[in-house]
Amino acid sequence: MNLIDFQQTISKHGYDAYILTRGNMFLGQDILPEENKLCEITGFSGSAGTLITTPEHAWLLVDGRYELQASQEVDTTKIQIVCTNESIGTWINNNFLTPLKIAYNPWCHSINEVDYWQRALKKHSFIEDSAEIIGTRIYNKDVSIFEHDIEFCGISTEEKISYLTTFISQNELDAYFITECDAVSWLLNLRSDCLQNTPVLRAFALVSKDGEVSLFTNNMQKIEEEIARYKGRAIGVSYTKTPKKIQTLMKNHKIWLENLQNPIDNWKATKNPVELAGIKKAHIRDGVAMVNFLFWLEQNWQNQDEMSIVAQLHSYRSAQKNFYSDSFGTIAAVGANGAIVHYQPSAITNKKLETNSVLLLDSGAQYLDGTTDITRTIALGTPNEEIINSFTQVLKAHIAVADSFFPNQTSGQALDTLARAQLWKFGKEYRHGTGHGVGCFSSVHEGPFSLSAKNNQPLSVGMVSSIEPGYYKEGAYGIRIENLAHITTADIPELPVPMLKFEPLTLVPLDKRLINKYLLTTAEINWLNNYHALVYQKLHNLLENDVAQWLQQACAPL
């Protein structure tokens, strides 16, 4: 379906406007290409965006990560690009002044989101599109489901279910309904090959107070039949993560809903000792793959393009023990493409590597024992002084978080500000979060916390986060430095208040050719030298002699 057909269909059904999201009933999860109706209609391939359409006009709402990408992919004569941090409801309230009948798919929006529209935007009527005029949002695909072995996950399914039944009992519920795929996968120690880079089982789960588990993929009839068994009883759900349609089904069967955050979010975010040990091992193997790649790149970059870089890095990673897949589509962006925050090369956009520029390389892997995510900005030839200074400023922002102490239960907001404050000194900013949680052989983006301006979830020991400040100059270059780290105690007895700190997981050198050491403090230089010493210590015995010698130079003190 193209935009004109979509607008005609909206008019035919008597709607004044339609809200079309990229996602489907599995809110917040990756989707299959066949399910991406937003891309089908607009051409926009980014991972976050919303189309708001009337029969005559269309607006694509994106955040700062995707402003440049959207402007390049979308026909702006037909669709207006709106870069905003406003919610859908706020944007509608500010831009649609006359009352409208606005349709939406109740599977694709949370209870909280729709309730807000209906409560705060009373002049508009929000109508469930039960006919699914855009077509089904779930593509039927044969998938393989497999267990995540106890040697990697560390806690049995039975024990995890006991955590949840205790929670259900404490809250005087009869059951809890789980809609987050990564939570279902963690609880049942199950994974699948449905999605290319995220090995979660795409399913909902209903867990009774007795520990009985019902799984649902895309069989809507089965969902309603199971829910109907709980007529007159209480089921817990997370209103921020549960599709509005589920609430409608439960109310139709006179079920009492309790809005409770899914406790699994925090349980899976806090890695157990087996998971953490596996994640560390996975990062050592990932470091070996990355260092082998960087050694190869230094010898061969003049004859490469972005897509060949992606293929070469994949070949090094896929040779590692326990490798399963990439953890997301690799971002390999040279020169001006680096300013497109989530750019991924294609046959249309693919560029040759340019001399005296930088390559922004954001990549990761799924190993059976851990998930990795790393960004390195790499010099090609001799970049100019501006690029070197910008890289050094981003490095200062990275170190500000990586080398920080903070009290238990500090929110990600505070650490986000630590990084940005370093760049603000130079009049620079970046339009994405400073960090996100990472799963264990699961989603590379995992909640409930993040290091970002709007996230107030508390941080605690055992969590794994990225640290990834950046700077992007449109039409010129992009810089990002990303490591994963886990939170541990800062064992410093003389501190009056116990503190936490980050311990690095990612083990790959930073490109010293891009560092102006005169912009760094002594403490920052010490952090960098200590980090490089750790990288060399962990990896050099696992490399061929010529690669080990290269690593020794790459990790030599600044």
Please report the pLDDT score of residue 141 as a whole number. Answer: 87
CA distance 358 to 501: 31
pTM over 0.85: yes
Q: Which CATH superfamily is domain 270-554 in?
A: Creatinase/methionine aminopeptidase superfamily (3.90.230.10)
Q: For residue 496, what is the DSSP state? A: S
CA distance 298 to 66: 30
CA atoms within 13 A on the CB side of 89: 16
pLDDT band of residue 169 (cuts 50, 70, 90) is very high
Tokens of 261: 């955050």
Contact present, 379 and 448 (Cβ < 8 Å):
no
Cα torsion 472, 509, 283, 466: sign: negative
Segment 370-409, tens digit of pLDDT: 999 999 999 999 999 999 999 999 999 999 999 999 999 9
CA distance 327 to 373: 7
Q: Residue 471: is its pLDDT beyond 80?
A: yes
CA distance 243 to 327: 26
Segment 317-331, tens digit of pLDDT: 999 999 999 999 999
Q: Which CATH class is domain 145-262?
A: alpha beta
- CATH 3.40.350.10 residue ranges of the chain are 3-128, 145-262
Residue bearing tokens 């694709």: 108
**CB-count exposure of residue 229 (10 Å: 0-12, 13-18, 19+):** middle
Please report the pLDDT score of residue 519 as a whole number. Answer: 98
Share of the chain above pLDDT 70, in %: 100
Task: Give the CA distances from residue 499 to residues 100, 272, 465, in Å, rounded to whole numbers and listed in that order.
Answer: 52, 20, 17
Tokens of 273: 């000792």
Selecting from 3.20.20.80, 3.30.9.10, 3.40.350.10, 3.40.50.1820, what CATH number does the domain 3-128 have? 3.40.350.10
Q: In 3-state terms, what secondary structure has residue 414?
A: helix
- CATH 3.90.230.10 residue ranges of the chain are 270-554
CA distance 406 to 414: 9
Please report the pLDDT score of residue 90 as a whole number. Answer: 93
Segment 33-74, tens digit of pLDDT: 999 999 999 999 988 899 999 999 999 999 888 898 999 999
- Between 54-68, 305-319, 528-542, the lowest mean confidence (pLDDT) is in 54-68
Element housing 258 (H / E): strand 256-259
Q: In 3-state terms, what secondary structure has residue 467?
A: strand
Q: For residue 77, what is the DSSP state? A: T
Q: In 3-state terms, what secondary structure has residue 237?
A: strand
CA distance 496 to 491: 12
Segment 97-119, tens digit of pLDDT: 999 999 999 999 999 999 999 99
Tokens of 534: 């750790």
Please report the pLDDT score of residue 113 as a whole number. Answer: 96
Tokens of 469: 């400040």
Q: Residue 127: is its pLDDT beyond 80?
A: yes
Residues near 510 by beta carbon (within 8 Å), at least 6 away in sequence: 376, 395, 481, 528, 531, 532
Please report the pLDDT score of residue 135 as a whole number. Answer: 86
pLDDT band of residue 18 (cuts 50, 70, 90) is very high
Mean pLDDT for 76-83 is 95
Name the nearest CA neighbour of 33 among 19, 20, 22.
Answer: 22
- Residue 418 phi/psi, 5-degree rounding, is -55, -45
Q: Residue 355: is its pLDDT beyond 90?
A: yes
Tokens of 410: 């500090």
- The answer, yes or no, to whether the previous bond of 448 is cis (omega within 30 of 0) is yes
Mean pLDDT over all residues of the chain? 96
Q: Residue 134: is its pLDDT beyond 80?
A: yes
